[in-house]
Structure 1
Amino acid sequence: MRRWLLLFGGVAVVVGATVALRRTVLAPALVAVEVAEVGRGRVEQTLTNSRGGTVKAHRRARLSPEVGGRVVTLTHREGETVALGELLLALDDSILRAQLALARAEGTAAKARQEQACVESSRAAQEVARNRSLAARAVIAADLLEGLEAKAAAGAAACLAAAAEVERAAAQVEVVESTLAQTRLRAPFAGSVARQTIEVGEWATPSPPAVPVAPVIELIDAEPRYIAAPMDEVDAAKLAVGQPVAVTLDPYPGQSFPAHLTRVAAYVLDVEQQNRTVEIEVRLDDAAFAARLLPGTSADVEVVLGAHDEVVRIPTPALVEGGRVLVIGDDDRLVARTVIVGLRNWDFVEISSGLAVGERVVTSLDRAGVAAGVRVQVASP
């Protein structure tokens, strides 16, 4: 009898161990998932740029002097601000100043020659007038009067030629003065020096027609910057000037800056091997902050087409294609549920029906094993 009791006891132990083994070792492991609680809040319908946007200056000028020469003065360094018309660069002008002095001296001499020629012309004309009455009374010979008239005509022509020489000398002065002014490079607008590629003592070369030459100074204006961003052509009809925009900037991670749409391009940009896009321009509402942004900074934009406040919403990663979500149900099993969605963006989706506030939905849909019917374990945040 005792032997039978021991036998039954051993069998019970084996059965219990087998059941425990199946429940622990052989049972399927719980799938760890990340979840979000269904809540309420604002959802905006937005459009985002198809490729990265860029902060740009209102104006950016690449400047070079109009004449060649050796640089003798650089008034500013990179990053410094300049006023409209302020001197940026000066070339050696010693030869031009000597030419200007010579041209002015020639102008003075030309005026003196003009005065002399015109005085002689006036005297010759007076002599003709006196002798014309004498010739009429046959007091002097007619050929003598003709000689005086020829001399007066030559004097008048010499006076006119001298006047033309004065004008030519004055024009030569203007030419040298204009060339002299070209040795000074001045700011075409107020701004700051973005780049400078020359130093004092180096030779500056002007750009011949149709031959590009690297600029010696790049100037950007002081006006607030704007963001240029490409949008997919399929969204072009939805864009309008004045729409609110949210801007994110790489140097300011985690921050969003309010802005507004100021321009929509009048054409679609067709670049080979790229999607066709429409470029938009966006200006930040904070002009003072925009003026401090560095041109060339990467930026992304979200154009707000519409918004609903205090609606039921879930994180966008929780929505499965086809309008379904995975809800954590009884016994921590996932349940597939179809929902009706409203507005959506990259962050949130409005739920018109199908979910209640407080329910939990899976956001880590890309994890292996995540499917309806499996038991899950909520991962620690």
Structure 2
Amino acid sequence: MRFSRIIIFLLIAGTVAGIGYWRHIHPDVISVTVTYVEKGDVEATVANTRAGTIKACRRAKMSPSLGGQISELPFPEGAAVKRNDILLQLWNEDLRAEVVHAESALRAAEDNSQAICLQAANARRTADRSYKLYQSEHVSRQEYDRVKSEADARHAECKAARANMEVAKAALQIAQSRLQRTILYAPFDGVIANINGELNEYVTPSPPGIQTPPVIDLIEPDCFYLSAPIDEVDAPRVKPGMAARITLDAWRGRIFPGEVTRIGSYVIDREKQARTVEVELKFTNPEDIKSLLVGYSADVDIIIKTHSNVLRIPSEAMLDEEHVLVFNPDNQTLEERSITKGIANWNYTEVISGLAEGEALVTSLGDEGVEAGAVAEITDRNSDD
């Protein structure tokens, strides 16, 4: 019985050893995809941290500065308007009446001022004649003083009348200003994007500290720019005038050339978000503007610098910051290789040393069994044109 157990144990051990030896001399072959080291251009870029937004160069979100009932909405949403066109008017008959009253009061004050000042001028001439008569002793000093005092009084009345005329002008300006507050004018040529109100509805201005939706949203239709946040760490490398590539979700596969026009002057600190700096970019191709709408989401790659005709590999082929897996065609194995890299972006990494043009790099790094020393066969080649 004991001898039989020994025989069974030896058979099992021999089988395991045989399987191990077989695997040693016939290791499992894994399938890998590769790419090849090539020469080309590599760009160092800065990308936005969150989606950017297409904005109009000029946009006015307007509401009346006082409450009232909407009496006129001359244009519908989507209408093109010219500068100084009336976009909205509140009921203002009472204020118009106040303007008419103030205009009448001003005319009356002007007429009264003219009459009083004419009388003052005549009294001044009489005083001058009386003075000459006094000097020639044809009138008494008492008579001359009376005439002079009357002329001085008339002059003071003229000054008071002119002051009253200025008061009437100011009252008219106040009435006109109050009337103007009931009317919204287009500050520039544009398109009405949104109207938040209907005829005869009552609108009220926003209370202090509380923002309410604007009644009229006016945008400039022929000028757009991109506003996008970048990480505060990248901000010092970005300068106005740098070229950029802009992509939009609404236009997948299309690249819009752009240029940095402005870099934010402060860091935006939002709760539970990375600190960022806002950058603005213009579209350098005027034809691209025709395809845009305000509010589109967009991404951007700002080109910091470019190295041309250098060795490069897809960035996805990097194991870490310094290593790659190279496929050795002589023994069909994978070898870990240290490299020195230069500038890099999401697509390509520049290789300064450690690789030669044409060498095969493994890109299927996440597959099971893909590691240094593994025996492999190439099943596909990544296309990196």
TM-score tier (shorter): 0.7 to 0.9
In the TM superposition, 1:43-192 aligns within 5 A as 43-118=42-117, 155-192=154-191
Q: Distance in 1 between matches of 2:370 and 2:141?
A: 128
Describe the shift of the 1:134–1:58 C-alpha distance in structure 2 as closer, same or farther (beyond 3 A). closer
Q: 1:283 matched to which residue of 2?
A: 282
Q: Which amino acid aligns with 2:307?
A: H
Higher mean displacement: 369-378 or 111-120: 111-120
SS in 2 for 1:98: helix
Any conservation in 1 of the 2:51–2:228 contact (CA below 8 Å)? yes
Structure-2 separation of matches of 1:122 and 1:247? 76
- Pick closer, same or farther for the CA change 1:211–1:369 going to 2, 3 Å: closer
Q: What secondary structure, in the 3-state scheme, does the structure 2 residue paired with 1:253 have? A: strand
Structure 2 counterpart of 1:312, one-letter code: L
Contact 2:63 2:214 in 1 (8 A): yes
1:120-169: per-residue Cα shift (whole Å, max 9, x none)?
A: 65676777788899999999999998877776665555444444333333
Q: CA contact under 8 A between 1:73 and 1:89: conserved in structure 2?
A: yes
**Residue equivalent to 1:362:** 362
8 Å CA contact 1:246, 1:258 repeated in 2: yes
Contact 1:327 1:337 in 2 (8 A): no
Superposition RMSD in Å: 3.9
Structure 1 gaps of 5+ residues are 1-18
Rounded to whole Å, the distance in 1 between the matches of 2:42 and 2:146 is 105
Counterpart of 1:335, as a letter, is E
Aligned residue pairs total 360
In 2: Cα distance, 1:369 partner to 1:294 partner: 49
State the alpha-carbon separation in 1 of the partners of residues 343 and 165 from structure 2.
80
The aligned residue for residue 5 of structure 1 is none
Task: Tell me the percent identity.
Answer: 36
* Residue 324 of structure 2 is aligned to residue 324 of structure 1: yes
CA distance in 1, matches of 2:287, 2:274: 34
- CA shift, 1:357, in A, is 4.3
SS of the residue aligned with 2:251?
coil
Q: Distance in 1 between matches of 2:268 and 2:28?
A: 53
Q: Give me the whole-angstrom Cα distance separating, in 2, the residues matched to 1:251 and 1:50.
A: 19
The one-letter code of the counterpart of 2:286 is: A
Match of 1:335 in 2: 335
Name which of structure 1's ranges 157-166 and 256-265 shifts more when overlaid on structure 2: 157-166
The 2-side partners of 1:347 and 1:66 are apart by: 53
Q: Comparing 108-117 with 312-321, which one deviates more in the overlay? A: 108-117
Deviation, structure 1 residue 366: 1.2
Q: Structure 1 119/49 Cα, relative in aligned 2: closer, same or farther at 3 Å?
A: closer
Q: Is the 8 A contact 1:268 1:276 kept in 2?
A: yes
Cα gap change, 1:76/1:233 in structure 2, threshold over 3 Å: closer, same or farther? same
The one-letter amino acid paired with 1:371 is E
Of 322-331 and 364-373, more deviation after overlay is shown by: 322-331
Q: CA deviation at 1:210?
A: 5.9
Compare 238-247 and 270-279 and name the one that shifted more.
Answer: 270-279
> Which TM-score applies when normalising by structure 2?
0.75
Separation (CA, whole Å) in 2 of partners of 1:40 and 1:135:
113
Distance 1:150 1:241 in 2: 74
Give the letter for the 2:299 counterpart: D
- Residues 9-64 of structure 1: per-residue CA shift (max 9 Å, x gap): xxxxxxxxxx9xx99xxx88654433334433322222222333332333333212
Q: What secondary structure, in the 3-state scheme, does the structure 2 residue paired with 1:34 have? A: strand
Contact 2:323 2:336 survives alignment (8 Å):
no
**Equivalent residue letter for 1:83:** K
What is the rounded CA distance, in whole Å, between the counterparts of 2:262 and 2:145 in structure 1? 80
2:129 and 2:231 map into 1 onto residues whose CA distance is 93
In 1: Cα distance, 2:125 partner to 2:353 partner: 113
Structure 1 residues 97, 33: closer, same or farther in 2, change over 3 A? same
Deviation at 1:192, TM superposition (A): 2.8
Distance 1:323 1:81 in 2: 59
Check the 8 A contact 2:112/2:161 in 1, yes or no. yes
Question: In structure 2, what residue type is equivalent to 1:243?
Answer: M
Over 3 Å counting, the alpha-carbon distance change for 1:129 and 1:344 in structure 2 is closer
8 Å Cα contact 1:224-1:291 kept in structure 2 = no
Give, in whole Å, the separation in 2 of the partners of 1:351 and 1:247: 27
Q: What does residue 234 of structure 1 align with? A: 233
Return the offset for 1:347: 0.9
TM-score by length of 1: 0.76
Instruction: Show the counterpart of 2:351.
Output: 351
CA distance in 2, matches of 1:331, 1:125: 123
Indicate the SS of the match to 1:77: coil
Within 5 A, what are the aligned runs for 1:200-215? 200-207=199-206, 212-215=211-214
Structure 2, unaligned runs of 5 or more: 1-17
Shift of 1:223: 5.4
